[in-house]
Amino acid sequence: MTTAITMQGDMTPERVDRDLEWLKRSLPSLREDQEVRRQAKTVISSHSKPAHPAEISARVLALLNSYYDKDSPVSIQEIEAEDWVEALKNYPYWAIERACRWWKSDENGYRRKRPLEGDIVDRCKAHMQPILAAKILLQADLRGPKNWMPD
């Protein structure tokens, strides 16, 4: 089995893709394979570190820069930035970046509209699904019935 362990600072998109795919494939093994459980915990930990507020602000600014600016006063822009940081503070940078890029992509039918914080939070949640699923399985009672997970 291929090991997928990412060290801090090595969050290239290719590495994140590889680790998330490994995590998805490993979900059925999390129940009993202690080595897979250990590796999954490492992947979850390294991929769940919340982004720094300055990173969030910069990424959101880059996202919103493409949209019409209302010439709001700087004080209002700062409050808006704080709202974005508050909404995204629990997500890792890689998920925020992917959510922002997705928003502007041709895959998103609403891309011509300026996103709200909740739009990007929803997409971050979607990108974090393999991590959430693995966390749930790791917290599950290992003594329960072995066939509780669907094939």
Please, what are the averages of pLDDT over each run of 10 residues along the chain (151 residues)?
44 93 94 92 95 96 85 87 97 97 96 96 97 91 54 47
DSSP structural state of residue 116: P
Question: What pLDDT, on a 0 to 100 scale, did the predictor assign at position 6?
Answer: 37
Q: Are 26 and 36 in contact (CB under 8 A)?
A: yes
C-alpha to C-alpha distance for 14 and 35, rounded to whole angstroms: 23
pTM: 0.84
Contact 89, 122 (CB under 8 A): no
pLDDT at 58: 94
Residue environment code for 45-65, b if the CB has 16+ CB neighbours within 10 A, otherwise e:
ebbeeebeeebbbebbeebbe
pLDDT at 84: 97
At 1 the pLDDT is 39
Closest CA to 111 of 67, 56, 71, 69: 67
